[in-house]
């Protein structure tokens, strides 16, 4: 018999009993002062709320300005995503090389200023649209300015998100992994609440008056900037670990004699892509990015499909609310499951849950589709129920992958790694929009659905390869299934 080996960290976590949520979250309370947490959550809420409000509000404002065409809205959305892809390296370099507090301050000011000026431009476009002159280029010029400001807002929001979630949270909780899980879950909870309530609030105002909705967006952006700015500064000063100097990046070209060489390394992904692909956290991160190639998310594409099959706006609102509640449940389930079985196993369990429910929804959809020849409300309902339940697995995996990335990516490259991941996420979103541009009719929605399920299964396969490499096996059999070798001395 080989000598007994000490249990691994994952085995130790698996042997811990499940605790109540309140007892579990005391780990975070004991590690981080309440004042620090309150200011961190306030800053994150204001950043996420304003981003969600403007992201959805801009679509409504453009729809009101250009009621007869979807082209301006499509160009606007694709330009924002393209900016995030093309300038991801520059954002990541700023996060890695810049002073922590200065980077977040710049992101806050840039985001708020871009939103405020965008509101002025969109208001002017709406007013000018009522007396548009044939052949005038003023309207087109204002639209170009609005697109450029949207790109600035997108990049600033990405910088803030990467800096706070992938760097600040890790630095603040380096001595307590349990506190990190709680912070991740609570911040993701804030994201999901803002994702539901923000669009609902601005759309309710826009129903009454688009101008009033623009005024509200403008006012909230300016009113929150001071609070957000002060809160994040206090978080920095309350956490000594954030004030510790960071090690320089491994690939630093600041000493290179040529200015063009320096700029190329700051803007182009010369080192970031090879670093990303070779990193031990690549597969969990890339698997998460693949999940953004989907139309099954109660966003504009799926909502349009549901309306085309017979849903009314009230039913769509109910379905979206139920989906968000289920998504929020993942922010309570995933941290407890991670504490019980570890982040790696939690990730494969959550991805398996997501794939299983999407398979059920796909089977239901095609069973009805082949029986009738066209998508009906029964097929849409089955698909919607399965998608809502699958979102629990999606956000559970999101938290697991984030923990793996936070734990394994070097401090000097957190920004670079995370912005490359964000770039692939935006590429996934662009491909999902492209799929519904090519297959735009409701009776063609099965093809974007198949593409989305295929992307999810590809993500599951890649992550399964990571789990097998990391743990040596995919399935951990229970003790009663593990066969013990028979002793040769027995009679």
Domains and CATH numbers, the chain: 33-241 (1.20.1250.20), 273-472 (1.20.1250.20)
**What span, in angstroms and rounded, lies between the C-alpha atoms of 426 and 404?**
21
- 427, two tokens: 């590429």
Average pLDDT of the chain is 83
Note whether 192 and 324 are within 8 A (CB). yes
pLDDT in tens, 68-86: 676 787 788 888 888 988 8
Note whether 215 and 110 are within 8 A (CB). no
Note whether 61 and 127 are within 8 A (CB). no
Question: Does residue 16 surpass a pLDDT of 60?
Answer: no
**Where do we find the tokens 């690939």?**
251
Q: What is the pLDDT of residue 18?
A: 45
Question: Does residue 207 surpass a pLDDT of 50?
Answer: yes
263 confidence band (pLDDT: 50, 70, 90): low
The predicted model gives 423-433 an average pLDDT of 90
φ, ψ for residue 28, nearest 5 deg: -70, -40
What's the predicted TM-score (pTM) here? 0.80
Q: What is the pLDDT of residue 476?
A: 64
Q: What is the pLDDT of residue 217?
A: 94
- 66, two tokens: 């250009």
The predicted model gives 56-68 an average pLDDT of 82
Rounded percentage of the chain residues whose pLDDT exceeds 90: 40
Strands (E), 119-184: none
Which has the closest alpha carbon to 471: 281, 336, 344, 316? Answer: 344
Which has the closest alpha carbon to 242: 173, 158, 157, 188? Answer: 173
Please write down the long-range contacts of 25-29, taking CB distance under 8 Å and 24 or more positions apart.
25/182, 27/176, 27/178, 27/179, 27/182, 28/176, 28/178, 28/179, 28/182, 28/183
- Name 472's Cβ contacts closer than 8 Å, sequence gap at least 6: none
**What span, in angstroms and rounded, lies between the C-alpha atoms of 301 and 295?**
6
- 400, two tokens: 């697991």
Q: What is the pLDDT of residue 27?
A: 53
The DSSP code sequence of 373-390 is SS--HHHHHHHHHHHHHH
* 91-101: burial string, b at 16+ Cβ within 10 Å, e else: bbbbbbbbebb
Which has the closest alpha carbon to 256: 234, 271, 237? Answer: 271
Which range is most confident: 51-55, 83-87, 293-297, 393-397?
393-397
């Amino acid at each position: 018999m080989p000598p007994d080996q000490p249990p691994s960290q994952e085995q130790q976590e698996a042997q811990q009993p499940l605790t109540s949520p309140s007892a579990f979250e005391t780990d975070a309370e004991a590690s981080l002062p309440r004042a620090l947490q309150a200011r961190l959550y306030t800053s994150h809420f204001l950043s996420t709320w304003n981003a969600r409000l403007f992201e959805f509000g801009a679509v409504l404002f453009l729809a009101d300005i250009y009621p007869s065409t979807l082209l301006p809205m499509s160009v606007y959305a694709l330009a924002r995503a393209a900016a995030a892809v093309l300038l991801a390296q520059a954002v990541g370099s700023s996060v890695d090389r810049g002073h922590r507090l200065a980077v977040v301050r710049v992101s806050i000011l840039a985001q708020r200023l871009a939103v405020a000026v965008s509101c002025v431009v969109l208001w002017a476009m709406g007013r000018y649209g009522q007396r548009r002159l044939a052949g005038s280029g003023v309207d087109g010029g204002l639209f170009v300015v609005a697109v450029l400001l949207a790109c600035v807002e997108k990049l600033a929001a990405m910088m803030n998100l990467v800096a706070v979630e992938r760097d600040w949270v890790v630095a603040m909780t380096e001595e307590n992994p349990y506190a990190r899980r709680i912070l991740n879950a609570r911040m993701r909870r804030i994201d999901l609440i803002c994702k539901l309530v923000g669009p609902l609030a601005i759309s309710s105002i826009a129903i009454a008056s688009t101008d009033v909705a623009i005024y509200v967006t403008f006012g909230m952006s300016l009113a929150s900037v001071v609070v957000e700015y002060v809160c994040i500064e206090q978080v920095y000063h309350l956490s000594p670990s954030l004030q510790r100097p960071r090690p320089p990046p491994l690939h630093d070209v600041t000493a290179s004699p040529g200015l063009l060489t320096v700029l190329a390394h700051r803007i182009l992904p010369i080192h970031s892509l090879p670093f990303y692909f070779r990193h031990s956290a690549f597969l969990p991160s890339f698997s998460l990015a693949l999940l953004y190639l989907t139309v099954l998310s109660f966003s504009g594409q799926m909502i349009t499909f549901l309306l085309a099959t017979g849903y009314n706006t009230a039913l769509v609102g109910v379905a979206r609310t139920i989906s968000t509640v289920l998504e929020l449940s993942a922010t309570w389930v995933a941290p407890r499951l991670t504490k019980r079985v570890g982040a790696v196993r939690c990730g494969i369990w959550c991805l398996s849950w997501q794939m299983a429910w999407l398979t059920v929804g796909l089977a239901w959809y095609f069973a009805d589709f082949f029986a009738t020849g066209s998508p009906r409300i029964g097929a849409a309902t089955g698909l919607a129920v399965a998608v809502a339940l699958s979102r629990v697995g999606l956000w559970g995996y999101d938290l697991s992958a984030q923990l793996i990335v936070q734990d394994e990516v070097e401090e000097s490259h957190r920004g670079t790694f995370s912005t490359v991941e964000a770039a692939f996420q935006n590429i996934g979103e662009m491909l999902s929009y492209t799929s519904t541009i090519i297959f735009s009719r409701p009776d063609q929605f099965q093809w974007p659905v198949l593409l989305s399920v295929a992307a999810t299964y590809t993500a599951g396969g890649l992550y399964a390869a990571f789990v097998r490499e990391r743990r040596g096996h995919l399935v951990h059999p229970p003790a009663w299934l593990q066969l013990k070798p028979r002793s040769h001395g027995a009679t």
